[in-house]
Amino acid sequence: MLGVESDHLRASLLRIAGGNWLLALEDPVHSVSLQQFVYEKLKAQQALMGDQGFGVLMETVDTELVRQLQEFLQGL
């Protein structure tokens, strides 16, 4: 079994018209950490809104979603 990432890569390669394999391999999905990307976007939003505004915003997010997000970002 190749795994989800390999399956996604194979599917991406097959969708590219004319066999432009290099373009598919340059897709950021293969080189950017999703955890790091989400973390950086959240920190940027916090910087824009300030700590208090960001805290108020986060209080509107479902608590289970916040828990899962914290678990996902653990270790960064």
The predicted-structure confidence for 44-64, as pLDDT tens digits, reads as follows 999 999 999 999 999 999 999
pLDDT value, residue 16:
57
DSSP assignment string, 33-52: -HHHHHHHHHHHHHHHHHHH
Residues 6+ apart with CB under 8 A from 39: 73, 76
Domain span at residue 65 reads 3-74
Residues 8-54: tens digit of each pLDDT = 766 665 665 556 666 667 778 878 899 999 999 999 999 999 999 99
pTM of the predicted protein model: 0.64
Better pLDDT: 76 or 20: 76
**Structure tokens belonging to residue 57:** 């915003």
Q: How many CB atoms lie within 10 A of CB 70?
A: 9
What is residue 46's predicted lDDT score, i.e. its pLDDT? Answer: 98
Number of compact structural domains in the chain: 1
